[in-house]
Structure 1
């Protein structure tokens, strides 16, 4: 998976765009493999709520004063139990949306509703067998626990002359995967992620009042928490941004027209022509990068990685005149090299995960 490249890509795109080069952005959708892999015969799944009824799900704020009242006016931290019913429904809906299993069944009523004390307790093998039989499924995915840490702040934004009210909710879902033939969970996943809201006002009171109401915030946080484990359980589609060089020669400009018409093979022919017909390192770099994107669009990741490596080598020759440590390169001085290097890293990760993805998608006869 490409993890934290979006901001870097945007920043480098701005650098490239401002350097008198013609660049075009395109989107690409691709499958990202899950952490867990299931045998193809497991086709029906139940999503269940295995949390205890929480004795107290109210926010209990702990207010902390900021050291610098000129910037942060107030800060309150609160802890709460998330709504497991809402989270279970959101998880079931998101898993169903991925179309990986033939059938997704939901059981969002708490299996441990009679517990007197909130606790995290896995299902016994007998409970799993009974549930699987009753629900007609091959495996059980259970929400075991859901906790929130919520931070509410009011800040003065000096550069805008207004106040910001913000809520940052950290969600901590715990999910277990059960198979009827196993005495213990196949896997238990303890995750954390965060969701953020903000609003603005001309005074601290107005900014705090404008922010999302607590009831709505807790509901949206629970829905978000339910979606967090999905990418660990089933392959999901990811949308990425790619950039193509579109200027510098007639073949490159004509190829850009073919891309807009979705005629990628014709565009590739012109890029290859542009690459083979010049000795100019910059022109070779641009054509090679575009060819790498072409092969990625064709799902030929090994070839895409090869051409991205070639583009990186040309970029190094044009932007790095000396043998420089990669960790000390100035991004402003070598924007092409940095962008291509980030892209190459993502391609290598995708290529390394390809065998795992094919294994997970074998239930569809590799038709994905």
Structure 2
């Protein structure tokens, strides 16, 4: 079975090796493209609630039988219809917050309010045209369904000698995108995600009593559900973590000071000197990885990928004796190769997404 590691895990491992591996963590914010791309002329959008008003929104719970001798004291799973009004408002608010569309209009009153039973019902082209005309928008994003699955549990945490009460809610919104000129939805999305709460107590009863009340849980879960589909519609900012080698020589240490002062060009000059001025493969690898981060910070992703590849090839030579195709190869054996490879993979993914992002941001003349 192949092993998988996150960049953060690899770096935590490297940090434990000692000062000779000196690594410094920095944050980077970058835009990721939306899953869907909309033509620039689609500037005004309406977010509508196309869900029937559910007559009964109570949790329907089923308690599980717990095996003796386990830390788990109790667990139950419950299902409910999410509050569509709250979720629609949350979806509209979050899309508007991204400042991607010129105007975001909300229609949170249920279009199917007179239905006797909750159901999914695709809007007809005539309904879409009428809604778009009435609301003065170019297209419509409709919340069509919202289901919740809540798992409540109480368990004993032996290492802390206390009880944990936890609620994990999985949200399942269904969203459709409608264009007035199309007789069918442009897209139908079924994203899902989870939101989690926990409390602690000296006894199982105390931990359970402190758990989030059902009413509050349902409201917060509906708000959260509204945020889940947003990444499908608008480019989103993502916060990433990058790592720089800061030790091993005076230039590398001085470069780290420049980075803290946000003088990246000065830092680059020292890293480049360090790379060109040594034949030591490990020192070259560290300088190359830092230069890759420099180019990423400068939004020169092609150059960043080029330098990350140099760092990976040097790391491969450094760790060569332990690199095999075997699943037994671990981070302990090839820490440099794992670190550079994972960073290179992230850069390649960003480069693959760049044309799509540029297309989506063309409405702003690529100003991003």
CA distance in 2, matches of 1:332, 1:315: 14
SS of structure 2 residue aligned to 1:361? helix
SS of structure 1 residue aligned to 2:6? helix
> Per-residue CA shift, 1:3-59, capped at 9, x if unaligned?
xx9x82332222111122211111111000011000001101111100111122101
- Counterparts of 1:159-238 in structure 2, within 5 Å, are 159-238=159-238
Contact 2:49–2:142 (8 Å) recurs in 1: yes
- Counterparts of 1:41-120 in structure 2, within 5 Å, are 41-120=41-120
In the alignment, structure 1 residue 355 sits paired with structure 2 residue 355: yes
CA distance in 2, matches of 1:322, 1:332: 10
Q: CA deviation at 1:336?
A: 2.4
In the alignment, structure 1 residue 10 sits paired with structure 2 residue 17: no
Question: Residue 293 of structure 1 aligns with which residue?
Answer: 293
Call closer, same or farther: CA 1:259–1:326 in 2, change over 3 Å.
farther
CA distance in 2, matches of 1:9, 1:167: 29
Q: CA deviation at 1:339?
A: 1.8
Q: CA deviation at 1:69?
A: 4.6
SS of structure 2 residue aligned to 1:312? helix
Q: CA deviation at 1:328?
A: 3.4
CA distance in 2, matches of 1:323, 1:157: 39
Unaligned runs of 5+ in 1: none
CA distance in 2, matches of 1:98, 1:347: 24
SS of structure 1 residue aligned to 2:331? coil
CA distance in 2, matches of 1:161, 1:335: 36
SS of structure 2 residue aligned to 1:206? helix
SS of structure 2 residue aligned to 1:116? coil
> Cα RMSD between the aligned structures?
1.3
SS of structure 2 residue aligned to 1:321? helix
Call closer, same or farther: CA 1:195–1:30 in 2, change over 3 Å.
same
SS of structure 2 residue aligned to 1:229? helix
Call closer, same or farther: CA 1:136–1:37 in 2, change over 3 Å.
same
Contact 2:322–2:334 (8 Å) recurs in 1: no
Q: CA deviation at 1:322?
A: 4.6
**Alignment coverage as a number of residue pairs:** 363
Q: CA deviation at 1:320?
A: 3.0
Question: Residue 251 of structure 2 aligns with which residue?
Answer: 251
> Per-residue CA shift, 1:259-297, capped at 9, x if unaligned?
111111111111111001111111011000001101111
> Per-residue CA shift, 1:110-141, capped at 9, x if unaligned?
11100111111111111111111111111100
CA distance in 2, matches of 1:25, 1:259: 11
CA distance in 1, matches of 2:348, 2:333: 25
| TM-score of the two chains, using structure 1 as the length reference | 0.96
> Per-residue CA shift, 1:64-116, capped at 9, x if unaligned?
11224531111111000000111111111111111110111111111110011
CA distance in 2, matches of 1:13, 1:281: 19
SS of structure 2 residue aligned to 1:61? strand
SS of structure 2 residue aligned to 1:289? helix
Q: CA deviation at 1:237?
A: 0.5
CA distance in 2, matches of 1:80, 1:111: 20
| TM-score of the two chains, using structure 2 as the length reference | 0.96
CA distance in 2, matches of 1:334, 1:252: 23
Unaligned runs of 5+ in 2: none
After TM superposition, the structure 1 stretch with the greater mean CA deviation from structure 2, 221-230 or 15-24, is 15-24
SS of structure 1 residue aligned to 2:151? strand
> Per-residue CA shift, 1:150-172, capped at 9, x if unaligned?
11011111111111100110100
CA distance in 2, matches of 1:160, 1:232: 41
SS of structure 1 residue aligned to 2:46? strand
CA distance in 1, matches of 2:22, 2:191: 42
Call closer, same or farther: CA 1:71–1:322 in 2, change over 3 Å.
closer
Question: Following TM superposition, where does structure 1 have runs of at least 4 consecutive aligned residues deviating by more than 4 angstroms?
Answer: none
SS of structure 1 residue aligned to 2:152? strand
